[in-house]
Amino acid sequence: MSPLRSYRRLLELVGAPYVAVAFVARVPLAMSQIGTLLLVAAETGSYGAGGAAAGTLAVANAVGSPVAGGLADRWGQRPVVLVQALLGAFGLVGIVAGATGGASTPALLGVAAFAGLALPQVGPLARVRWRPATADDPQQHRLVATAFSYEGAADEASFVLGPTVVGLLAALLDPAAALLAAAGMLAVFGTAFALHRTAPRGVGRDRRTASGPVLTAAVVVVMGAQLSLGALFGSVQTGTTVLATAAGQPGAAGLVHALLGIGSVIAAVGYASLPDRIGLPTRLLAAGAGLALLALPLLTVSSLPGVAVVILFLGLAVAPSMITSFTLAERVVPAARVGTAMTLLAGVTGLGYAAGSAVAGRLADAGEAGSLGSLPGHTAAFSVTVAAAFASLLVALAGARTLRRALEGAAGDEIPATTRRRAEPEACTGADAR
């Protein structure tokens, strides 16, 4: 089955409206962090307070996402995502109310933490839906692989679109309008995503189907890959911001950083064309090598056009790494724990982002202050990017054998019939899906 036919078949199974809803529902998460940063910084006059609020939201989301994923595995996505969507929207409105109402910084951090805990990770949860949605198709293996390629592209596109929407609304109106728009989108499209017929049921109180480890050696390997990738994201954004500010064009940082997502979207769409004979451990290794090779030029660039070209090409290795990691996790964990695994990887990526941004920021400050000799601040920040890329490669090398063994074991396991029935979408049989 060709990639084009696979994409067409996926649309037939779930419907084009679902694809649109699932995409828009993930954009508020992409808007929330930068929207919080801009709003709190503008209202308090402190970039430190804005950064602290945005960082608190991101870390809280990284911590809360696996918990929500586990609850969704147990009780189904409908009730869990519905509550998350409504509470998340409420939390974003709370940030606006607190910031514009003159709330103290500790109070703003508390509201940001609440919002972060509540915001749903729609992308990882959407990945969970594809296997049951394609269960009755003889080409399920190819369809799920294509679906994961699409989800990788959709995630990257949302993290390009989200900050762009925030920037436009902040420029035309104010930062508060951007967060309120995110809250409205989450309430409407998050609710629609939660209630869609593809939402999987949970396993409930059936301990036989709910049991099974998630933190296996193979999952730890892909967590390491995602942690490295998150650190790459955070450090790239920091280094780009430092270089753009030094060039007197701080507003260009977002546009340059968006190129990483654009390159990643291009690669994600093409990922579905890879032949099955190229195994997942090999793909993760190739993606890690690509990240390491394409990140190295960041240590030599000194202009915005130069860094823009490098970041665009670096994005071509980002999507293959992310798609492969999520696909590996989906393959090696028990069927009833896939939601937990998907959200766990998303949370680890967020933690990596925060760590990479923080370390790169400190090194950039040291470079700007002359503490690192003649090393410019942006180069110091980009050194974290290069280190993260090589860490991704090392993780793939060290974990290749572990991943192969886990995949061989998963291929030999049969999913119990009770799990298969419970994992099917609510009110959506194979015939209904078609």
- Amino acid residing at 430: G
Burial class of residue 4, CB neighbours in 10 A (0-12, 13-18, 19+): exposed
pLDDT at 18 over 80: yes
For residue 152, the one-letter residue type is G
Residue 334 binned pLDDT confidence (cut-offs 50, 70, 90): confident
pLDDT at res. 416:
41
Give dist(CA 133, CA 47) in Å, integer. 45
Q: Calculate what percentage of the chain has a pLDDT beyond 70.
A: 91
Residues 6+ apart with CB under 8 A from 389: 228, 232, 288, 291, 292, 294, 295
Q: What is the pLDDT of residues 249-289, one digit of tens each?
A: 766 777 787 788 888 888 888 888 888 889 999 999 999 99
Question: Are 128 and 340 in contact, with CB atoms under 8 Å apart?
Answer: no
Question: What distance lies between CA 216 and its chain's CA centroid?
Answer: 21
Residues 112/99, Cβ–Cβ less than 8 Å: no
Query: How many Cβ atoms are within 10 Å of 72's Cβ, its own excluded?
Result: 29
pLDDT for the residue 83: 96
Residues of the chain above pLDDT 90, percent = 42
More confident call, 97 vs 46: 97
418 pLDDT band, cuts 50/70/90, is very low
Quick one: pLDDT at residue 212?
65
Judge whether residue 310 has pLDDT over 60: yes
Residue 318, pLDDT above cutoff 50: yes
pLDDT of residue 248: 83
Give the per-residue pLDDT at 141. 82
Q: Is pLDDT larger for residue 138 or for residue 47?
A: 138
Mean pLDDT value across residues 331-339: 84
Q: Which residues partner with 200 through β-bridges?
A: 425
Between the CA of residue 113 and those of 60, 116, 190, what are the distances in Å? 5, 5, 19
For the stretch 113-143, pLDDT in tens is 999 999 999 988 999 899 888 988 888 888 8
Stretch 190-218: mean pLDDT, rounded?
77
What is the chain's mean pLDDT, rounded?
Answer: 85
Q: Report the pLDDT value the prediction gives residue 392, as an integer from 0 to 100.
A: 96
Higher pLDDT, 286 or 238: 286
The band of 325, judged by pLDDT with boundaries at 50, 70 and 90, is: very high
Residue 27 has pLDDT above 70, yes or no: yes
pLDDT for the residue numbered 398: 95
Q: What is the distance between the alpha carbons of residues 429 and 399, in angstroms, rounded to a whole number?
A: 38
Do the domains 16-205 and 212-414 sit in the same CATH topology, yes or no?
yes
Mean pLDDT, range 396-419, rounded to an integer = 74
CATH of domain 212-414: 1.20.1250.20
CATH topology classification for 16-205: Growth Hormone; Chain: A; (1.20.1250)
pLDDT at 427: 39
| 287/394 Cα distance (integer angstroms) | 11
**How do the domains of the chain map onto residue ranges?**
16-205, 212-414
Work out the average pLDDT over 218-226: 94
Provide the pLDDT for residue 397: 96
Q: pLDDT grade, residue 219 (50/70/90)? A: very high
In this model, does residue 47 exceed pLDDT 70?
Answer: no
Q: With 80 as the cut, is the pLDDT of residue 28 above it?
A: yes
**pLDDT the model gives residue 129:** 92
